[in-house]
Homo-oligomer: A and B are copies of this chain.
């Protein structure tokens, strides 16, 4: 059941993301950068256990699309820090709405108290 729901969620997200030219991984990176500007790539990856090479490629794409840019880490010459561009910050706001929409859509069959209950149970499983 969890898997079926997750698949529905994914499809739903991808649909709403595709007009922006993003896939789910790129979306996750954008959200993280929107919340914390200036993290290194590894740090971003740790936020949702995404392997380094995936981050690398997601950022390739996002940098190409002029949503992010890489900069030298101030103290380490091997790390890079990731920053949202103007376009990136704008898109970030649109992304928040998408998450909300999808969440509401998914949990529409539940009452508010059920929603809380579900949240609690799921958190216990993490």
A residues in contact (CB < 8 Å) with B: 1-7, 9-10, 48-49, 106-107, 109-110, 114, 117-119, 121-126
Q: Could you show 15 A-B contacts with beta carbons less than 8 Å apart?
A: A1-B119, A1-B122, A1-B123, A1-B126, A2-B5, A2-B122, A3-B9, A4-B48, A5-B125, A6-B6, A109-B124, A110-B121, A114-B121, A114-B124, A117-B117
Cα-based distance from A15 to B72 in the complex (angstroms): 38
Q: Provided the pairs A121-B117, A121-B121, A124-B109 are in contact, do residues A9 and B1 lie with their beta carbons within 8 angstroms?
A: no
Q: What is the chain B residue whose CB lies nearest that of A11?
A: B49
Residues in B with CB closer than 8 Å to A7 are 6, 49
